[in-house]
Each structure stands twice: as structure tokens, then as C-alpha cells.
Structure 1
């Protein structure tokens, strides 16, 4: 996929995710210069997010989705690397994961071999038109990050192709064009 198209899709994806998690609007339309503060989700956030880290209240269930998807995606990427080292072809693994995360409705967009957190199951079933694209787009961003940082050509290509597939599906499911 061309770099310009991928960049445009990334902006669309961030916009879509910002509708799900309003804190992400800062990434799409920054209102103030960012002041680096580590948050564990995207790595850096602006000072506007700092107040969330000081709040001792429990995290609402809706806020658990994106970090859970991120954690699953990182685990899948690491397992893909391990399987590649063991002799499996990365493209086959990526295709299988893509089939799981881009299912035909009403199946949940989650890898079959990874446990689905119980608190997320209700969320995924309650509003699949909104939640499925968020799962796919978040996973795509993680896999694209791996594609850009992996020097092994077959792994990088597999991660990039998987990210493209997930982004296209997320945009299609959410009603945006890819």
C-alpha cells in the first residue's frame, strides 16, 4: 500500500478511534503543544491526559477495550516472531490472525487462540458496529508499528499486510471508505 494512502487511512482510523475514546482527539486535532507524559497506551500523551493518571477511581469498563486490544496485539506479534523463528511462515500466521480479527458478523473480532477478557465480551456483543472497528483499528496500529520496526523482510511484510487488511476492514465496518 502506498505511503500516502496508509497515512490517510491512519488519520481516518485515529478519527474513528477518537469517537470511541475522546482522549484520542488530542492526537487527531492537538489543541496544545504536547508535553510528553508516558501513558502506556500510545507511549506519549499531552499534559491534558496527566490528570487521568491521578484519579484513584476504578477504570470504567469502556476504557479497558483499547489497552486489552493493544496487549493482545503485542502478544500475537511476539508469538508470530517466535513461530517464525521456529520455522512457520509469517504470512500464513498473519492470514490466520486476520481471518480471526476480520470475521463475518456476528462473530467477534478476536483471535481464536487468545482468551477474550470477560469484561470485553459484553462490550463487543453490545455494539459490534462501533466496537469491532475499534478492535481492528487498534490492532492495525500495533501491527503497523511492528512492521516498521522489524528488519526481517518476511515478518515486516506480514505485519504490514495484516495492518492494511485490518485498517481496510475497520474503515469498511465503520462506514468510512478505505
Structure 2
């Protein structure tokens, strides 16, 4: 077993941090950037054993990293449970190492918890969702302690916002965002 490199997160006063992976980080970034109480959303890589990986490294599927977003949130405005409800509603947590056409361990469903209460919330909600029958298959979302986060290259940041007319954005990200918007409209920032 490889030793995981550790990175620190400087959390602004009054805020909490979350690190989530649900396939391609472009999709999840577009959603969380628009949530009330969320700030500083960054796409990156987490959970692997290679220090300072590049996108090219990640795409090999051999670094142990998942494509993730990391962001700060104000727990007085949005709870971690609400963040996780949105997480599970906006991707398929029953497909191991895959989301749609994106295949490999870098596209796994993952929650990298930063403290014990996040772990408890994640396990509780995963179990509750599994028992609800919302999914026909088992939820395979990984729930593991946070160890590291490496910010992705600049061209990955704000991808949907900067490339909304690109085919991937139109055919993959926009439908996910539109579905999210219908269900969670009251949690959106004003345009």
C-alpha cells in the first residue's frame, strides 16, 4: 500500500471545507459554484499517492487520485447534509469507477471527509439513501478521510462557465445542471 501525501487546507474563519468526487470535475464544479453559501470552488485531484499530479498523470488511472472539487461553505447557510443530498442527486453513485462515458478510478464517486461529523453524515445519508430504494443497485460511493488535494491546471477551472458552448458542456454538463436546477432551485445564488 502506497503512503498518501498530505496537504493542508487553510479554511477561512466561520467556514467549513468539503472535497467531493462524482466523475468529471467539470460537471460537479458547475453545480456547486451556483450554491448559496458555497465559495472558492476549485477542481483538482484527491486521494492519490503521487505528489503534484498533472491531468495527464491522472488520466492513466494509476495515481490513485479522483477528479474532485474542493470548496468552502458556510454551515450557517448550507449544511454538509444538504451538500451531500445534492451530491447524490447529481450523479450515479452505483457505478464503480465510472460516470457515463468517463471510465477509470479517477472518475469514482467519493467523499473525502475532513472531520468526524462529515464522516458520520456521509455514512448516515448513504445508508438512508440505499435503504430508500432510490437506486436499484448498491451505492459504491467511497467515504474516506481527506489526505490531499492538488488544484487542477488553470484550463480546468470554471470550465462550464468559460466553455458553455462546447459540445461536452452542452451534452453532458448542461443536462445535469438543468436537472439540479429544477430540484434545488431554492439553493441557487441569484444570477
Calculate the TM-score normalised by the size of structure 1: 0.32
The structure with the largest strand share of the pair is: 2
The structure with the largest helix share of the pair is: 1
The answer to which structure, 1 or 2, has the higher relative contact order (CA under 8 A, 6+ apart) is: 2
